[in-house]
Amino acid sequence: MIGSAIARGANFIEANVETAMCLWEAALELRDDLPNLDARWEEIGTVALRHEIMALIEPCEVAWNAARAAGTEQIPFDWEHCPAFLREHFA
């Protein structure tokens, strides 16, 4: 999924914006620990990576909702789920 993009003119609700902020914060924290994330960052730059992270909003939220339904969610969303999601995505 690396290299995904959001559709032009995509609309986001408040929860989506919060997810984006949590994912970006996790990316900042994990950059040195995830070689694939760091390589992608170096390859495309910060602005493009922010847009790539925005394309992960929906998959991240879908994964969260599926985990909640299964009773396997990693709480809290911002400090556990989002970093784990990025670790898996950039594995």
DSSP assignment of 9-66 equals T----HHHHHHHHHHHHHHHHHTTT-HHHHHHHHHHHHHHHHHHHHTTHHHHHHHHHH
Per-residue pLDDT tens over the stretch 12-61: 889 999 999 999 999 999 999 999 999 999 999 999 999 999 999 999 99
pTM above 0.95, yes or no: no
User: Which residues, at least 6 apart from 44, have a Cβ–Cβ distance to it below 8 Å?
Assistant: 52
The answer on pLDDT for 7 being more than 90 is no
Supply the pLDDT for residue 49: 96
pLDDT at 11: 84
Average pLDDT score over residue span 74-91:
97
Distance (Å, whole) CA 29 – CA 6: 23
